[in-house]
Amino acid sequence: MTTASSAQSVRRDLANAPLLAAALGQDPARTPVWFMRQAGRSLPEYRKLREGTPMLQACFTPDMVVEVTMQPIRRHGVDAAIFFSDIVVPLKAAGIDLDIVPGTGPVVASPVRDEQAVTALPELDPANLDPIAEAVGVLVGELGDVPLIGFAGAPFTLASYLIEGGPSRHHERTKALMKAEPDVWHALLGRIADYTLEFLKVQLHAGVDAIQLFDSWAGALSERDYREFVLPHSQRVLAGLAFAGVPRIHFGVGTAELLPAMREAGADVVGVDWRLPLDEAVRRLQAAAPDAPKPVVQGNLDPAVLFAGWDVVEREVRRIVTEGKAAAGHIFNLGHGVMPDTDPTVLTRVVELVHSIR
Ligand code: CP3
């Protein structure tokens, strides 16, 4: 799994871990399963630990990062841990004035909307990410043979928060800057790609076993705009991680029309939301690149289905595992993050069920 790199000394040899075997298109002993947002508000033990600590403060406190990352491993028996952090952590580490507001999400004090603001964006001193490296280092020691997934936000999704100043339904200011001032846009995405790369490199050097690049809101774009304004920047990020030789997962919501382009960005594993059946996702990926190896996919249970009662959940899980057989490898996941009101005992049963199906 590992290739020559300075990260080699810290990375565990987990070649037989189901998650990593599936990511390589091999036939693992069982279908691996983890959940986006598995660490978080669906868990009472998380809510208790976080009481009184703001989200961003938690992200820069290694003890807390370690404990929250471990909670879903102990409770659910998932096949991977995802490092507890947030996509805006590298922006915060660079000195950008922002906060994560409960119930809202990231809020940026001075939105970045013109050339001057882009030029003024600070450089990220990697030393500001030391608490992240420390937490990853402790985690790879504690996790035994469970892989640790590192992650970052992709340039487009981070740009949307920086330009809109917070969460956005239509991304109108983002698209306006992109279309009206392409030079400013590309300068901004280039700077964000630097932050993203730095954040991921710190995690890789500290020993993470795979990475996921979240381009959560890329589905707002046409394929044409994605290819012109986004793909080159995501490509630079993913190419910049090749040295580590670990699987790169690339995910966004509502990206049925973008999946082949997102794979071209350099994804070893393509994340799929619930709108497109996995076998259809595989068909589209193969049709777009007939000479490429058969794709590996991750997904795609609708997180809302977890509220529908066990009979419905079981039927949908079985369907998805069957449809996933069309891929060279399938990592079972939700089609987006766990919602805060989800009953965590249902998640545990999903893990048991996925593991029981051959
Ligand atoms: O998946 C995991 O378990 C790891 C932790 C993780 C968090 N954020 C913790 C978090 C990950 C992978 C993220 C990524 C993230 N953050 C994304 C990409 C994934 C996706 O969902 O599409 C995005 C878009 C963000 C931005 C963000 N941060 C949002 C939309 C929110 C929720 C705001 C809210 O209160 O509803 C956050 C805050 C956040 N990040 C929380 C957690 C557990 C909730 C804050 C809290 O617990 O107080």
* Distance from the alpha carbon of residue 294 to the mean position of ligand 1, in angstroms: 31
138 lines ligand 1 (CB under 6 A): no
Using CA of residue 167, residue 169, residue 171, residue 173, what is the dihedral sign? negative
Please tell me whether the overall predicted TM-score, pTM, comes out greater than 0.85 for this model. yes
Tokens standing for residue 142: 């504690």
* Distance from the alpha carbon of residue 334 to the mean position of ligand 1, in angstroms: 15
Q: pLDDT (tens digit, 9 = 90+) per residue, 295-334?
A: 999 999 999 999 999 999 999 999 999 999 999 999 999 9
252 lines ligand 1 (CB under 6 A): no
* Distance from the alpha carbon of residue 63 to the mean position of ligand 1, in angstroms: 19
Q: How far apart are CA 65 and CA 223, in angstroms?
A: 36
Alpha-carbon distances, residue 302 vs 86, 170, 274, 329, 341 (angstroms): 22, 22, 5, 20, 14
100 lines ligand 1 (CB under 6 A): yes
Q: pLDDT (tens digit, 9 = 90+) per residue, 106-119?
A: 999 999 999 999 99
The residue whose CB lies within 8 Å of the most ligand 1 atoms, and thus the one to mutate among 85, 86, 160, 168, is 86
Q: How far apart are CA 305 and CA 33, in angstroms?
A: 16
* Distance from the alpha carbon of residue 27 to the mean position of ligand 1, in angstroms: 31
Using CA of residue 39, residue 45, residue 47, residue 50, what is the dihedral sign? negative
151 lines ligand 1 (CB under 6 A): yes
Query: How many CB atoms are located within 10 Å of the residue 190 CB?
Result: 14
272 lines ligand 1 (CB under 6 A): no
Q: Pick the atom of ligand 1 nearest to 153's CA.
A: 18
122 lines ligand 1 (CB under 6 A): no
- Give per-10-residue mean pLDDT for the chain (358 aa): 50 95 96 97 97 97 98 98 98 98 96 98 97 98 97 98 98 98 98 98 98 98 98 98 97 98 98 98 98 97 98 98 98 98 98 96
